[in-house]
Amino acid sequence: MIDRLVAKIQKTRAPIVVGLDPMLSYIPEHIQKKSFREYGETLAGAADAIWQFNKKIVDAICDLIPAVKPQIAMYEQFGIEGLKAFQKTVDYCHEKDLIVIGDIKRGDIGSTSAAYATGHLGKVQVGSKEYSAFDEDFVTVNPYLGTDGVKPFIDVCKEEKKGLFILVKTSNPSSGEFQDRVIDGRPLYEWVGEKVAEWGQDHMGENYSHIGAVVGATYPEMGKVLRNVMPKSFILVPGYGAQGGKGEDLVHFFNRDGLGAIVNSSRGIIAAYRQEEYTKFGEENFEDASRAAVVDMIEDINGALLRVK
């Protein structure tokens, strides 16, 4: 799956991923009203609004980008109906030939991690039949439980030719509380990064491992160090745009081949119509604002990468 991601990045010339993390408050009123008219102000109504919003955005940007990253929490908060919208979104993005990174941040003891891996990347056995439940291409994984919490995910990835992004250094302000603590002279995130590199050797694609890492755009210096600790791991970089990261901060997340990182923006793209730069499109044409924001983001990152070449 990492080889497919690399090929799609090369084809689109866009090392970016769009986070489909819709809060209801981002969704233009005309979409919400229409869904509520049909389903009432219910969980099904909210889920329909999310789905209609996602669909419009995906239609508007799918030719520009290699991948999307739906954040499952934003769907899970609406219960079963929300999760149906998550599943619909994953399936629709596949129809549009997009790679889907399920941002699920799961992680548990062995047999439980195996169940999550089965549900999101693999196939579950029911009697003599097999079913894919959510069927993402990559998922994010929390490493706090150590190797035997991660290994079941890797096993399923091998079977299904899929991949992972494992949390190493997260983008949030208090990520340092535990992740930066120094152990034998080096911060915890470096130790985790080293493990990611080790786990990754076990499931290699052509030039990169199927097992990648998450490192926040908000910590560019640490990104530079981690790039070297995990030379064969793709880095999924959240925190661009709304969380404060800029193109020039991100160059050291990439390798010299211009690959090795994929930068996520969520709110900055899906709620672009609310930013001053893009208000000219109007709320009615929010998807055009999203498309313009994608074009600008690609230019920002590629420009920064060209300047360091």
Distance of closest approach, residue 60 Cβ to a copy of itself, in angstroms: 24
Q: In the numeric block, which tokens belong to residue 53?
A: 């919003």
Minimum CB distance to a copy of itself smaller for 184 or for 221: 184
Q: How far apart are CA 229 and CA 93, in angstroms?
A: 33
Sites for a copy of itself among residues 154-183 (CB under 8 A): 167, 170-179, 181-183
Distance of closest approach, residue 100 Cβ to a copy of itself, in angstroms: 15
State the angle between helix axes of 43-61 and 79-95 in degrees (0 to 180), rounded to the nearest 10.
20
Q: Does 21 contact a copy of itself by CB under 8 A?
A: yes
Residue from 8, 34, 96, 110 that binds a copy of itself (CB under 8 A)? 110
Q: Does 129 contact a copy of itself by CB under 8 A?
A: yes
Minimum CB distance to a copy of itself smaller for 14 or for 150: 150
Q: Does 201 contact a copy of itself by CB under 8 A?
A: no
Distance of closest approach, residue 126 Cβ to a copy of itself, in angstroms: 4
Amino acid at residue number 259? L
In the DSSP assignment, the letter for residue 266 is S
DSSP character string of 182-218 = EETTEEHHHHHHHHHHHHHHTSB-SSSBSEEEEE-TT
Q: How far apart are CA 196 and CA 208, in angstroms?
A: 12
Sites for a copy of itself among residues 221-260 (CB under 8 A): 238
Determine which one of 34, 55, 105, 151 is catalytic: 105
Q: How far apart are CA 171 and CA 41, in angstroms?
A: 34
How many residues touch a copy of itself under the rule CB under 8 A: the total is 73
Distance of closest approach, residue 151 Cβ to a copy of itself, in angstroms: 9
* Segment contacting a copy of itself by CB under 8 A, of 69-77, 254-262, 278-286, 293-301: 69-77
Angle at 97 between CA 283 and CA 34, to 5 degrees: 30
| Cβ neighbours, 10 Å, residue 232 | 18
Does the annotation mark 105 as catalytic? yes
| Residues belonging to the active site | 105
